[in-house]
């Protein structure tokens, strides 16, 4: 354990002791010395009673600062709110950054949300209601209305005056957006520009008119892509008439990236990795739906093998290589699926034509299949001393990999076209589907060379 961690644990112990001794002054001094992330860690380690004691020691604003850094998808967030007096909770929500308060309220049912909105300050409730109306996973849903804007026909001196007055309420002040009298976004200026220019310089003379912005209805993944492309700390959000509505900040985009990565991984694994439970029964219940679904698809593969039972009984050597072919094809399909999902997440790759993608995946499958097929042909020919058997295994492997590769790419593409999350085409599903197609390919090719296996 490093020194910083030891010091933090010592401070946590001192805070616990201050709570136990009901020493509010000592507790406040120690607690407010912590970074707000560390405050959140300490808060989440407490019991219900200890947290209620904290609410008596700290103002709604001090709790709000801490809640701004606690993940809104924390499963205990609704419990934390319910522990507070309704008026205290409403004041705390009003003091949070608007986008974070909206995220937190979205975890509650409509009755609870309405209750808090009805008792919080009118202006805060109005701003929160505006953001609650935007669709999930859009720029509007993740933006904040706490930003600084100025007009072009003012000086640097007056702009700095506006900035100083509004900075405490703004989520970020690194970019200051310039609007006209109708609140249309017309430019942007950085904090650095304000600092290095003379007080009497007009904003119109130093603003940048080329502003990269996103529309309020843009998908959050596209917004994240824009952040990645331009390395911004914040992006303005406009309506379709270019009125400035809010900004998206980089901390929200980090959350989006985490959420999208978890969603993609959940799809690829066939289980919701965001709902982690230590309860074995709950864990089992979350995994069973996909497993049962895939069980029925697996039964189709078993039925297909049963259909070729006579072929296997006459050439039993064929049974040895079933798992080899299905397993390799499944691996190829999963690789292709992962690449396809990643490609669809990248805006520039979405422009690639459907036919071009299909041809590319067929060619990739044929190349990987041919090399893998030649390898297994050589191994089986030497191992079993039967080049014909090696040829059948090799050619079946090549076509099975090609088909699996194509399925792993096409299925997520089709799902994306239909408006579904392409990651839902999970790895287990592609693997099981590949098993089915691989068995069909393998036994059909083997049946053409039946006479070569009799007595093998």
**Which pLDDT tens digit goes with each residue over 210-267?**
999 999 999 888 898 899 889 889 999 999 899 999 999 998 888 887 776 656 555 5
CA atoms 11, 15, 17, 23: torsion sign: positive
Instruction: Report pLDDT for 273.
Output: 47
Mean pLDDT of the residues in the chain: 85
Per-residue pLDDT tens for 292-312? 776 777 788 788 788 888 887
**Residue 86 banded pLDDT, cuts 50, 70, 90:** very high
Question: Residues 96, 67: contact at Cβ < 8 Å?
Answer: yes
CATH number of this structure's domain 3-137, picked from the four choices 1.10.1780.10, 1.25.60.10, 3.30.420.40, 3.40.50.11750? 1.25.60.10
Give per-residue pLDDT as tens, 21-47: 999 999 999 999 999 999 999 999 999
CATH of domain 149-257: 3.10.580.10
- Quote the percentage of the chain above a pLDDT of 90: 43
Residue 104 has pLDDT above 60, yes or no: yes
Contact predicate 81/108, CB 8 Å: yes
Higher pLDDT, 293 or 162: 162
Handedness of CA 119, 120, 124, 127 (dihedral sign): negative
Closest CA to 150 of 126, 192, 186, 174: 186
Report residue 278 CA to chain centroid gap. Answer: 22
Q: Is 326 within 8 Å of 439 (Cβ atoms)?
A: yes
User: Could you give the CA distance from residue 78 to residue 74 in angstroms, rounded to a whole number?
Assistant: 9
Is pLDDT at 334 greater than 50 in this prediction? Answer: yes
Supply the pLDDT for residue 456: 46
How many other C-beta atoms are found inside a 10 Å radius of the C-beta of residue 409?
27
Torsion of CA 362, 366, 367, 369, to 10 degrees: 130
For residues 37 and 65, what is the distance between their CA atoms, to the nearest angstrom?
A: 10
Q: Is residue 178 a contact partner of residue 199, using CB atoms and an 8 Å limit? A: no
Provide the CA 122 distance to its chain's centre, in angstroms. Answer: 33
Among 422, 325, 423, which Cα is nearest to 380's? 325
What is the CA 81 to chain-centroid distance, rounded?
A: 25
- At residue 56's C-alpha, the angle toward residues 51 and 59, to 5°, is 100
CATH 1.25.60.10 intervals, the chain: 3-137
Residue range(s) occupied by CATH 1.10.357.20 in the chain: 280-453
Residues of the chain with CATH 3.10.580.10: 149-257
CB 337 within 8 A of CB 429: no
- Summarize the confidence of residues 378-389 as an average pLDDT: 89
pLDDT at 349 > cutoff 60: no
* Fold annotation for 280-453: Tetracycline Repressor; domain 2 (1.10.357)
For 276, phi then psi, to 5°, come to: -85, 125
pLDDT of 72 strictly over 80:
no
Q: List 351's β-bridge partners, or say none.
A: none
Mean pLDDT of 377-400: 91
Q: Residue 192: what pLDDT?
A: 93
**Structure token pair of residue 251:** 């901390």
% of the chain at pLDDT higher than 70: 86
pLDDT at residue 276 above 60?
Answer: no
- Looking at residue 152, the DSSP 8-state letter turns out to be T
More reliable by pLDDT, 161 or 358: 161
């Amino acid at each position: 354990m490093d020194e910083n961690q030891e010091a933090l644990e010592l401070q946590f112990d001192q805070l616990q002791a201050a709570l136990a001794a009901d020493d509010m002054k000592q507790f406040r001094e120690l607690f407010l010395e912590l970074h707000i992330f560390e405050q959140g860690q300490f808060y989440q380690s407490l019991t219900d009673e200890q947290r209620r004691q904290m609410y008596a020691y700290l103002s709604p604003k001090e709790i709000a600062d801490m809640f701004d850094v606690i993940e809104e998808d924390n499963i205990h967030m609704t419990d934390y709110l319910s522990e507070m007096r309704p008026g205290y909770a409403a004041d705390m929500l009003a003091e949070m950054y608007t986008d974070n308060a909206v995220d937190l309220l979205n975890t509650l049912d409509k009755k609870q949300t309405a209750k808090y909105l009805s008792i919080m300050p009118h202006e805060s409730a109005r701003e929160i209601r505006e953001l609650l109306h935007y669709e999930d996973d859009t720029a509007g849903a993740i933006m904040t209305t706490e930003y600084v804007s100025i007009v072009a026909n003012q000086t640097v001196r007056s702009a700095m005056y506006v900035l100083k007055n509004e900075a405490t309420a703004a989520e970020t002040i690194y970019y200051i957006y310039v609007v006209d009298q109708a609140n249309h976004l017309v430019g942007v200026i950085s904090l650095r520009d304000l600092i290095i220019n003379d007080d009497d310089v007009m904003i119109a003379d130093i603003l940048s008119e080329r502003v990269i912005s996103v529309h309020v209805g843009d998908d959050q993944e596209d917004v994240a892509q824009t952040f990645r492309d331009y390395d911004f700390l914040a992006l303005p959000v406009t309506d379709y008439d270019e009125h400035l509505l809010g900004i998206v900040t980089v901390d929200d985009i980090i959350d989006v990236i985490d959420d999208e990565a978890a969603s993609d991984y959940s799809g690829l694994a066939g289980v919701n990795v965001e709902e982690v439970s230590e309860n074995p029964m709950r864990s089992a219940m979350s995994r069973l739906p996909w497993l049962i679904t895939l069980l029925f698809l697996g039964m189709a593969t078993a039925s297909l093998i049963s259909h070729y039972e006579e072929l296997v009984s006459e050439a039993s050597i064929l049974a040895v290589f079933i798992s080899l072919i299905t397993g390799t094809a499944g691996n190829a399909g999963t690789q292709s699926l992962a690449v396809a999902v990643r490609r669809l997440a990248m805006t520039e790759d979405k422009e690639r034509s459907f036919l071009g993608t299909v041809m590319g995946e067929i060619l990739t499958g044929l190349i990987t299949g041919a090399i893998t097929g030649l390898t297994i042909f050589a191994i089986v020919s030497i191992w079993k001393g039967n080049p014909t058997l090696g040829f059948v295994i090799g050619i079946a492997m090549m076509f099975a990999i090609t088909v699996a590769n194509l399925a792993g790419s096409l299925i997520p593409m089709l799902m994306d076209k239909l408006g579904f999350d392409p990651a839902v085409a999970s790895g287990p599903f592609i693997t099981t589907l590949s098993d089915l197609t691989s068995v069909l390919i393998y036994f059909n090719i083997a049946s053409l060379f039946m006479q070569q296996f009799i007595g093998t």
